[in-house]
Amino acid sequence: MKSVDDIKQALEILSIPENVKILQKFFKTGKGEYAEGDLFIGVKVPDQRSVAKEFYNKISLEELSELLSSKIHEHRLTALLILVHQFEKTKDKIKQKEIIDFYLKHSKHINNWDLVDTSCYKILVRYCFENQDSKILEKLSDSKNMWEMRMAIVGTMYHIKKGKFELTKNFALKNLKHPHDLMHKANGWLLREMGKMNEKELLDFLNLYYKEMPRTCLRYAIEKFDEELRQDYLKGRI
């Protein structure tokens, strides 16, 4: 597949070998860590965005499947950036549905927080919101796979921006006892974003559940509060 080979070659040219160890450490690829065994070639994200912009209209979904199935992290991220471009550039509902089906079919390869956060908001959740269909997100939120669960909660960012908060609150509650800190960070982040749009919504939610929330989630959620209010929540004085 020439397009795939051209993209891989472009990324290889842009790779910086001395960055590999830094990326492996940052993305937790060591034994027992959440991205154990993930491979990097050291390409900066802005360079991956440039490659995606150059090739998004030159590659089919069939070809993109090979790139998204790669063991190399930058190949997968570039594939997702291309997919975002393809989704945003079409108004064809049939094509959009094809992209959604492709995304879900390949979800096992969207297996790190940056891959999820870069793509789910601009593809999956925009589609769900515009078609007023939350079933896909609800199914992902019930998954046993942490990355699919993260797609669901991070994806509610689109709803938050539109002033809709119920999905965020529902998924945050569902994830409250999740064993991994990455989910607590995601929960807290989205709750904080909800608070930026509507502080009362966040305060009402916190007042009901903050004593049950993992510390990481709470700290992320209240990050923008003034110090006195932050301490009231952290010390259980509310």
Predicted confidence (pLDDT) per residue in 49-66, tens digit: 999 999 999 999 999 999
Q: pLDDT tier at 40 (50, 70, 90 boundaries)?
A: very high
Question: Is the pLDDT confidence value at 211 over 80?
Answer: yes
Q: Specify the range with the lowest mean pLDDT, choosing from 13-27, 130-144, 165-179.
A: 130-144
Spatial separation of the C-alpha atoms in residues 33 and 174, rounded to whole Å: 24
Interval 103-113 mean pLDDT: 96
Do residues 137 and 131 lie in contact, with contact meaning Cβ atoms separated by under 8 Å? no
Interval 170-188 mean pLDDT: 94
Spatial separation of the C-alpha atoms in residues 16 and 40, rounded to whole Å: 10
Predicted confidence at residue 1, as pLDDT, reads: 61
Q: Which of 4, 10, 1, 5 has its CA nearest to residue 51?
A: 10
Predicted confidence at residue 218, as pLDDT, reads: 97
Q: Is the pTM of this model over 0.85?
A: yes
